[in-house]
């Protein structure tokens, strides 16, 4: 199996405050190829916020998050963006585009040009092959969740950020996602998952429990 | 999966993807253009019908020029701000953030707004000539002023729309922060249009100012955009 280029993520003493309310503080971890960080915690404990901070989509109040790609630090967001994939309940698709057009947009926006057959193959892998040409507004929440993972497959990121990855999925879908998680770890990807699901937590090499 | 090598540098491909996505959404919803067009039509028809045909042709070029640009300005305010607010409201802002590099988003949105307002300016010009019975001797200068002004207006509106989308109460904030930034370009475009309608030659410096202001706004917006894009 092809191994991915090596990405390391160094998180040092990260904290986040919203106004005077401190969400978490003193978060540190070091992740490398094949590592899976599981972030757990009750609703409102800041799991999604921490995932966004680790993905560098949100600035921490204090502390640092550094991405090292093949030994070189990715200094700006654009450098990081080309290596990350993001699945979250906050990711919404464009309702008046089809599933395939949404996927095509996400790939092209990253500068990734896929052949039509590759889009079909990607949609087929997540079980959406017959629905790719339909508008996303006709999709169920479970299908939208599958489409998010289709985007991950199309973009082939080195770092996966998955927030509540199993939510809204049926048994088939959950099995599919867990397979993808396993395969990506075998390829040497770094996984960061916010979840309270024991099935996802099985893959943890490191855990952060937010209170 | 083997990615097919791109024929284009990836930045242009990313800009194209943002532009194509917005254009497809607009073609299917027709929301922004119809908002702008109906607003322009209502204004021009309202002015034309309330003042009356005979008196309209007697309006001096200064007033005609101001009316034309007021219609364009308010149409722009009604439609151009949507490029980011729509993403915010539909919840797709995060999707855009994790899909495209910030500069590709900025330039994609600018180009989309420029197309939108330049298309609208053509429609407004036709309606203006029909309703106001204006005779134009120097079409090239009129179109030059109109398009340069529209392009500048679109660029500034895109930049302020990005700022406003990050804030609460964004609809009102968009107009408030756009107005002072747009004023120099707006006044210059009015003066240029007045000169053409009065049969005078538009000075080269006028064109340079209109174009230059747009370029400065484009560069300033590009620098600012990276800071706006990642949340604090």
Determine contact: B75 vs chain A, CB below 8 A. Answer: no
Determine contact: B94 vs chain A, CB below 8 A. Answer: yes
* A43/B141 Cα distance (integer angstroms): 62
What's phi and psi for B153, nearest 5 deg? -60, -40
**B2 within domain boundaries:** no
* B227/A27 Cα distance (integer angstroms): 25
Top mean-pLDDT range of A67-81, B60-74, B142-156: B142-156
Contact by Cβ (8 Å): B150, B117? yes
Determine contact: B173 vs chain A, CB below 8 A. Answer: no
* B187/A95 Cα distance (integer angstroms): 40
**B71 within domain boundaries:** yes
Cut 0.90: pTM above it: no
Round the average pLDDT of chain A to a whole number and report it. 89
Task: Look at residue A69 in the predicted model and tell me its pLDDT.
Answer: 83
Q: Which of B203, B195, B208 is nearest to B148 (CA)?
A: B208
Q: Which of A77, A84, A69 is nearest to A32 (CA)?
A: A69
- B69 CA: distance to closest CA in chain A (Å): 33
How many folded domains does chain B comprise? 1
Task: Look at residue A208 in the predicted model and tell me its pLDDT.
Answer: 93
Q: Which of A104, A105, A171, A120 is nearest to A142 (CA)?
A: A171
Asked whether the predicted pLDDT for residue B149 surpasses 90, the reply is yes
In chain A, the percentage of residues whose pLDDT exceeds 90 is 57
Task: Look at residue B7 in the predicted model and tell me its pLDDT.
Answer: 45
Contact by Cβ (8 Å): A119, A100? yes
Strand order in the sheet with A190-194: A84-87, A159-163, A190-194, A36-41, A206-210
Determine contact: B18 vs chain A, CB below 8 A. Answer: yes
Determine contact: B91 vs chain A, CB below 8 A. Answer: yes
Contacts of A84 in chain B (CB under 8 A): 98
**B7 or A26, greater pLDDT:** A26
Determine contact: B10 vs chain A, CB below 8 A. Answer: yes
Length of chain B equals: 232
CA closest to B94 among chain A residues: A91
Contacts of A58 in chain B (CB under 8 A): 230-231
Asked whether the predicted pLDDT for residue A49 surpasses 90, the reply is yes
Where residue A5 falls among pLDDT bands split at 50, 70, 90?
low
**B179 within domain boundaries:** yes
3-state secondary structure of A61: coil
Q: Which of B111, B135, B166, B171 is nearest to B59 (CA)?
A: B135
* A126/B136 Cα distance (integer angstroms): 60
SS3 annotation, A33-52: CCCEEEEEECCCCCHHHHHH
DSSP assignment of chain B, as one string? -PPBPPSS-HHHHHHHHHHHHHHHHHHHH-HHHHHHHHHHHHHHHHHHHHH-HHHHHHS-HHHHHHHHHHHHHHHHHHHTTHHHHHHHHHT-HHHHHHHS-HHHHHHHHHHHHHHHHHHHHHHHHHHHHHHHT---S-HHHHHHHHHHHHHHHHHHHHHHHHHHHTSSSHHHHHHHHHHHHHHHHHHHHHHHHHHHHTTPPPPHHHHHHHHHHHHHHHHHHHHHHHHHHSB-
Residues of A with CB under 8 A from a CB of B: 55-59, 76-78, 81, 84-86, 88, 90-97, 101, 104-106, 108-115, 118, 121-122, 153-154, 156
Residue A38: strand pairing partners: A193, A207
**B5 within domain boundaries:** no
3-state secondary structure of A199: helix
Contacts of B25 in chain A (CB under 8 A): 94, 96-97
Determine contact: B231 vs chain A, CB below 8 A. Answer: yes
Where residue B6 falls among pLDDT bands split at 50, 70, 90?
very low
Contacts of B112 in chain A (CB under 8 A): none
**B6 within domain boundaries:** no
CB atoms within 10 A of CB B198: 12
Task: Look at residue B5 in the predicted model and tell me its pLDDT.
Answer: 44
Round the average pLDDT of chain B to a whole number and report it. 86
- pLDDT tens for B127-136 read 888 888 888 8
Contacts of A96 in chain B (CB under 8 A): 24-25, 28-29
Q: Containing domain of residue B134, as a range?
A: 11-229
Task: Look at residue B220 in the predicted model and tell me its pLDDT.
Answer: 92
- A184 CA: distance to closest CA in chain B (Å): 13
* A133/A11 Cα distance (integer angstroms): 41
Contacts of B223 in chain A (CB under 8 A): none
- B90 CA: distance to closest CA in chain A (Å): 8
DSSP assignment of B100-112, as one string? S-HHHHHHHHHHH
**B4 within domain boundaries:** no
| Contact: B91, A90; criterion CB under 8 Å | yes
CA closest to A81 among chain B residues: B98
- A37 CA: distance to closest CA in chain B (Å): 20
Task: Look at residue B171 in the predicted model and tell me its pLDDT.
Answer: 67
Q: Chain A to chain B, count of Cβ pairs less than 8 Å apart?
A: 104
**B54 within domain boundaries:** yes
**B136 within domain boundaries:** yes
């Amino acid at each position: 199996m092809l191994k991915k280029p090596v990405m390391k993520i160094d998180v040092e003493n990260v904290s986040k405050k919203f106004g005077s309310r401190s969400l978490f503080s003193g978060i540190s971890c070091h992740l490398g190829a094949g590592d899976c960080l599981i972030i757990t915690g009750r609703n409102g404990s800041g799991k999604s916020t921490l995932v966004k901070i680790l993905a560098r989509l949100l600035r921490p109040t204090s502390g640092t998050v550094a991405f090292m790609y093949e030994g070189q630090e990715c200094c700006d967001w654009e450098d990081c963006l080309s290596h990350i994939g993001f699945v979250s309940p906050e990711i919404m698709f464009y309702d008046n585009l089809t599933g395939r057009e949404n996927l095509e947009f996400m790939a092209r926006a990253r500068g990734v040009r896929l052949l039509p057959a590759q889009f079909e193959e990607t949609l087929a892998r997540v079980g959406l092959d017959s629905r790719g040409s339909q508008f996303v507004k006709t999709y169920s929440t479970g299908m939208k969740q599958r489409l998010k993972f289709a985007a991950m497959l199309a973009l082939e990121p080195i770092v996966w950020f998955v927030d509540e990855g199993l939510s809204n999925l049926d048994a088939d879908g959950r099995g599919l996602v867990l397979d993808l998680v396993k395969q990506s770890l075998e390829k040497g990807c770094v996984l960061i998952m916010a979840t309270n699901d024991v099935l996802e937590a099985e893959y943890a090499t490191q855990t952060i429990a937010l209170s | 999966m083997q990615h097919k090598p791109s024929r284009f540098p990836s930045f242009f491909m990313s800009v194209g993807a943002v532009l194509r996505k917005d254009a497809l959404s607009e073609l299917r919803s027709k929301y922004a253009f119809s908002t702008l067009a109906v607003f322009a039509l209502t204004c021009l028809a309202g002015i034309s019908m309330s003042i009356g045909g005979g008196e309209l042709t007697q309006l001096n070029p200064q007033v005609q020029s101001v009316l034309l640009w007021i219609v364009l300005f308010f149409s722009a305010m009604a439609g151009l701000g949507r490029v980011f607010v729509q993403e915010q409201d539909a919840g797709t802002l995060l999707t855009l953030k994790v899909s495209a590099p910030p500069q590709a988003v900025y330039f994609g949105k600018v180009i989309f707004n420029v197309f939108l307002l330049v298309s609208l300016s053509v429609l407004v010009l036709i309606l203006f000539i029909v309703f106001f019975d204006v005779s134009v001797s120097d079409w090239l200068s009129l179109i030059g002023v109109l398009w340069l002004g529209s392009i500048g207006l679109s660029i500034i509106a895109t930049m302020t729309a990005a700022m406003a989308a990050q804030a609460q109460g964004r609809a009102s904030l968009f107009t408030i922060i756009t107005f002072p930034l747009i004023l120099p370009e707006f006044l210059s475009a009015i003066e240029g249009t007045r000169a053409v309608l009065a049969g005078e030659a538009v000075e080269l410096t006028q064109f340079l100012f209109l174009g230059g202001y747009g370029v400065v706004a484009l560069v300033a917006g590009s620098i600012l955009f990276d800071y706006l894009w990642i949340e604090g």
